[in-house]
Chain A
Amino acid sequence: MEAFQRLDAVAAPMPVPNVDTDQIIPARFLRKPRKEGYGQYLFHDLRFDDAGGEKPEFVLNRAPYRGARILVADKNFGCGSSREHAVYALWDYGFRAVIAPSFGDIFYENSFKNGFLPIILPIETAAALCRALEAKPGARMMVDLAAQEVIGSAGTRHRFDIDTFRKECLLRGIDELDFTLSHRSEIEAFERRQAQAVPWI
């Protein structure tokens, strides 16, 4: 997993609530192998018309936002299906962080597993950040994970909360699996106790 420390990048605003994972990547692309990459499918039906041409009004098709690596969204971003492809698609396109007032729980979990940082900020803050980005298309924002701080395109500073363990994993680019495997003896002890208590499972 790639480490995440500090990101200074162009940010794109998407002030729409309940952006579900079917919007992020439609179901028909999920059977494509992971190694082929999913960036081309990101927001596919919002980005492209029926003939495959770009919809000029869509934010990522507007020149100043093309290189965006930070997305600023609205509440309940990533709700819906558990498809981790939603994170793969954002990642493969080039995004590394998304800021929103709230997230679909599974999307939120999936993000950390892929070195992708979901940041929760109050709804007014996210809305203000979006307005600033719309006022100055192509403006950059900064995310400093160690300091747990977002710096908006207008220079405003916003602290965010993050679980300590996840922060460590992201900063160092390690995933949970190795850590869990180090708890093997506790897992085995649990299994012995459970075999006594609920032998029918």
Chain B
Amino acid sequence: MTTSPRTLLDKIWDAHAVVTREDGRTLLYVDRHLIHDGSRRAFEVLGERGLPVRRPDRTFGTPDHYVPTTSRTMAGIDDVDRRLMVEAITKNAVAHGIRIFDLDDPRQGIIHVVGPEQGLSQPGMVIVCGDSHTSTHGAMGALAFGIGASEVSHVLATQTLWQKKPKSMRIRIEGALGPGVVAKDVILAIIAKIGAGGAVGHAIEYAGSAIRGLSMEGRLTLCNMSIEAGARAGMVAPDDTTFAYLQGRPFAPTGKQWETALRLWRSLPSDESVGFDSEVTLDGAAIAPMVTWGTSPEDAAPITGCVPDPAAIADAERRAAAVKALDYMGLTPGAALAGIPVQRVFIGSCTNSRIEDLRLAARVADGRKVASSVHAMVVPGSGLVKRQAEAEGLDRIFKAAGFEWREAGCSMCVGMNGDLVAAGDRCASTSNRNFVGRQGKGARTHLVSPAMAAAAAVTGTFTDVRQLLKA
């Protein structure tokens, strides 16, 4: 019997199909269900229907969206509604026998940092979480996607989800990335090319030599922002980089099971001859450090470029959107991006708060000072990232430069915990969304890499970080 060639997506899909209906919808089994402090509603629904959690042993969580970054205690949450959100995950976890890494646990952090860090996210798995950035975990060679509250309750009750198989898209980045150019720049360049809706209905597989050359941290950043191109999921085929990262992590298999797992994982990459529904290729060497200028992640340009002139945009709808975006952002068409002053710098979020991100930012900050006009902060992705950074002395570099050094959480990426950018202020942010009001009402967000964020902090303006790295 010959089998037709399959993609990584096909292989994971086939291995998790519980029921396939004639209309093409599949009941997909979920290996890992990750929850956070926004999961309260889903548990309420479960309670209303009197249903138990089917697999508490497959469910893991940590509070991240509503946690303070200035303290590690419930008392540190001064807003009642926020405290109720954080308390809810603890109560629900206790009630249903779910393991969580609570506020006082050093393993607490952003769920999309904690999952891979604990070895919970593994190749070949189906991973879901009630958060759109669940696509992050695809970097491990998993099929991982965000779901809504109703779907969270469905997974809690059945450990499954009805899904229509997404179409497949392969994005190849060939060639070596230039110095100072990192995964964040790659994904912003991709979204600028294909658009914020460019991958709707698709699962992206990232491939090519530049992707193979990325560390796990880089791949996690890349897959994290797949959703910003509209993709359901983003993934990278597991390889030795993946296995080396996973080995020895608390929830990774050990001994004989590690060997069995490795054999399975090595069979997962897409078959050579398989076709994808769509293909996109970018030249890695041509990518420069990127910065967004508008209010959609697709509004990204190289730091060597300028704020676009809407008058030059042929499409009427895109032109109108650009006019509105520039008005909100307070930018002048044609102005050079380098040299635009910033008031805030945020280094953190599920996109860029891992140890490698902090090392990169610290390299830029080392021996320099945050500009007096700038308020800058670093929010590690987890308690363990924080601890590691402190062991390496990164905290001292940041503090000496004038950055605030905070506790782990989602923080200023979405501002749900109260870490907000003031109206009218311009923020160089390593997060994932520059939507209107995302970081606070009237806040002006520019998405950049950790290196570019640090460069903006120490110069007070957007600056091509390559100039600082040279020195």
State whether B437 touches A26 (Cβ < 8 A): yes
State whether A23 touches B200 (Cβ < 8 A): no
Is B31 at the interface (CB under 8 A from chain A)? yes
Is B335 at the interface (CB under 8 A from chain A)? no
Give Cα distance in the complex from A83 to B196, angstroms.
18
Indicate the size class of the contact surface on chain A.
35 or more
With contacts A30-B38, A80-B433 taken as known, whether A163 is within 8 angstroms of B230 at the C-beta atoms is: no
Give Cα distance in the complex from A186 to B230, angstroms.
32
Residue of B32, B58, B132 near A81 (CB, 8 A) is B132
B214 to chain A, nearest CB (A): 25
Contact stretch, chosen from B149-157, B346-354, B385-393: B149-157
A residues near B21, Cβ cutoff 8 Å: 165
A residues near B162, Cβ cutoff 8 Å: 165, 176, 180
Residues 28-39 of chain A, each 1 if its beta carbon lies under 8 Å from chain B, else 0: 101110100000
Contact stretch, chosen from A4-12, A61-69, A101-109, A151-159: A101-109
State whether A31 touches B416 (Cβ < 8 A): yes
Is A40 at the interface (CB under 8 A from chain B)? no
Is B470 at the interface (CB under 8 A from chain A)? no
B residues near A79, Cβ cutoff 8 Å: 196-197, 230
With contacts A163-B25, A180-B160 taken as known, whether A104 is within 8 angstroms of B200 at the C-beta atoms is: yes
B424 to chain A, nearest CB (A): 12
Residues 62-104 of chain B, each 1 if its beta carbon lies under 8 Å from chain A, else 0: 0000100000000000000110110000000000000000000
State whether A76 touches B197 (Cβ < 8 A): yes
Is B109 at the interface (CB under 8 A from chain A)? no
With contacts A18-B196, A31-B84 taken as known, whether A110 is within 8 angstroms of B230 at the C-beta atoms is: no
Look across to chain A and name the residue whose beta carbon is closest to the beta carbon of B440: A28
Residues 167-192 of chain A, each 1 if its beta carbon lies under 8 Å from chain B, else 0: 00000000111001101001100110
State whether A45 touches B437 (Cβ < 8 A): yes
Look across to chain A and name the residue whose beta carbon is closest to the beta carbon of B163: A109
With contacts A30-B416, A45-B441, A165-B21 taken as known, whether A200 is within 8 angstroms of B197 at the C-beta atoms is: no
With contacts A76-B196, A186-B27, A187-B18 taken as known, whether A31 is within 8 angstroms of B201 at the C-beta atoms is: no
State whether B158 touches A180 (Cβ < 8 A): yes
Is B266 at the interface (CB under 8 A from chain A)? no
Is B130 at the interface (CB under 8 A from chain A)? yes
State whether B154 touches A22 (Cβ < 8 A): no
Residues 414-432 of chain B, each 1 if its beta carbon lies under 8 Å from chain A, else 0: 1110000000000000000
State whether B154 touches A105 (Cβ < 8 A): no
State whether B130 touches A105 (Cβ < 8 A): no
A residues near B433, Cβ cutoff 8 Å: 20, 22, 80-81
Give Cα distance in the complex from A87 to B41, angstroms.
14
Is B331 at the interface (CB under 8 A from chain A)? no
B446 to chain A, nearest CB (A): 16
Look across to chain A and name the residue whose beta carbon is closest to the beta carbon of B232: A105
State whether A27 touches B414 (Cβ < 8 A): yes
Give chain A interface residues in 90-104, CB to chain B under 8 Å. 102-104
9 sample A-B contacts, Cβ–Cβ < 8 Å, listed by A number: A20-B433, A27-B415, A31-B416, A34-B41, A80-B132, A84-B149, A165-B21, A180-B154, A201-B125
Q: Which 8 A-B pairs have the closest CB atoms?
A: A113-B150, A76-B197, A200-B253, A110-B148, A84-B148, A84-B149, A31-B81, A82-B132
